[in-house]
Amino acid sequence: MKNKKLNILLSAPRGFCAGVERAIEIVEKSLKKYGSPVYVRHEIVHNKYVVDDLKSKGAIFVEELEEISDKTRPVIFSAHGVPKHVSIDAMKHNMEYVDATCPLVSKVHREAENLNKLGFHLILIGHKNHPEVIGTMGQLPKGSIDLIQDENEAENYSPKIKDKIAYVTQTTLSVDDTINIINVLKKKFPNIKEPVKEDICYATTNRQKAVKNIAQKCDMFFVIGSRNSSNSVRLVEVAQKSGCVESYLIHSESVIPFDKINNCETIGVSSGASAPEILVNDFLDKLNQKYQLEIKEVEIIKEDIVFKVPKKLN
């Protein structure tokens, strides 16, 4: 018998952003147009459920083009973007490719290229080895862009060229942490050129604002998402810094900590930009088996952004 009442504050917006929806649609439309198999370089988005679903429909995931034995089959580049050499390699092999890079990541790529052409030495604020960072750094000649991951690295940064530097950022960073890094850089380099429009994407910003809005009212906070999803991990950090220390990521192998939830009155729930809503519902269903749920969705902004898929797939 469910005798404990549990209040759920459901953060909104949450889950899929326009870039993720577009990337998944590109794989599905490619399978429809070309038949299976269709190859995808790197996980199309960082979510096991999504990747497994697309595998079941005929997508084959690889990390590099060399792994594709049948080069007559099309390949899709993931939403995180790829270094320039990847599309050049695909052309060398006469491969049909579809670029599912999120348009907001492509914007950062173009920005970096333009600044490089204008003679600026670039700083990229981001996380080492994240595919988006590898893709952005791979747009420019080696040595013309440096990665800075935190305030400490910003403090100790000493570029070869000091009079003409600019920065761009990964799109899925913590808004607050990034502002702190930027402030350090601006103090050190008063003439540093910043992006015309900030690079952290609307979806990352909105999801972080929504979590901040409810975190301090919660005894525990759960973010549904993958461990390798940068924006999901950042949401957990945002919840912790906003007053809910007991904030956790719920991924495909997570065990729900019912022993801790038993002591809670209110818990918060959100999901990363690559986590489908079905995973949020699964989590709520598991809670519903043990508690009387009182669910309240707290929405701070409506999202209506849609990105079109490439014309050749329509």
In the prediction, which pLDDT does 142 show? 93
Q: For residues 291 and 264, what is the distance between their CA atoms, to the nearest angstrom?
A: 11
CA distances from 163 to 72, 120, 157, 188 (A): 48, 9, 14, 11
For residue range 185-215, what is the model confidence (pLDDT) as tens digits?
Answer: 999 999 999 998 889 999 999 999 999 999 9
For residue range 1-22, what is the model confidence (pLDDT) as tens digits?
Answer: 677 999 999 999 999 999 999 9
Q: What is the DSSP string of 245-307?
A: SSEEEE-TT----HHHHTT-SEEEEEE-TT--HHHHHHHHHHHHTTSEEEEEEEES-------
For residue range 18-73, what is the model confidence (pLDDT) as tens digits?
Answer: 999 999 999 999 999 999 999 999 999 999 999 999 999 999 999 999 999 999 99
Average pLDDT over residues 149-177: 94
Of the residues 111, 113, 132, 297, which is catalytic? 132
Q: Could you tell me if 224 and 283 are in contact, meaning their C-beta atoms sit under 8 angstroms apart?
A: yes
For residue range 210-241, what is the model confidence (pLDDT) as tens digits?
Answer: 999 999 999 999 999 999 999 999 999 999 99
Q: Which residues fall within 8 angstroms of residue 198, CB to CB, at 6 or more apart?
A: 169
Looking at every residue in the chain, the average pLDDT score rounds to 96
The model's pTM is 0.95
In the prediction, which pLDDT does 265 show? 98
Q: Which residues fall within 8 angstroms of residue 66, CB to CB, at 6 or more apart?
A: none
| Domains of the chain as residue ranges with CATH | 5-16+202-299 (3.40.1010.20), 18-102 (3.40.50.11270), 104-200 (3.40.1010.20)
In the prediction, which pLDDT does 1 show? 61
Give me the helices (H) in 35-150, please.
Answer: 48-57, 84-92, 103-117, 131-137
37 cis-preceded (ω within 30 degrees of 0): yes
Q: Could you tell me if 221 and 239 are in contact, meaning their C-beta atoms sit under 8 angstroms apart?
A: yes
**Could you give the count of Cα atoms lying within 13 Å of 205 in the half-sphere of its Cβ?**
13
Average pLDDT over residues 109-135: 97
Q: For residues 164 and 274, what is the distance between their CA atoms, to the nearest angstrom?
A: 36
Sign of the CA dihedral with 82 first, then 85, 89, and 94 last: positive
At residue 19, what are phi and psi to the nearest 5 degrees? -65, -40
**C-alpha dihedral, 303 to 209 to 296 to 255, nearest 10°:** 110
CA distances from 283 to 7, 139, 185, 217, 279 (A): 14, 39, 41, 20, 6
Residue 132 a catalytic site member: yes
Average pLDDT over residues 272-283: 97
In the prediction, which pLDDT does 162 show? 82
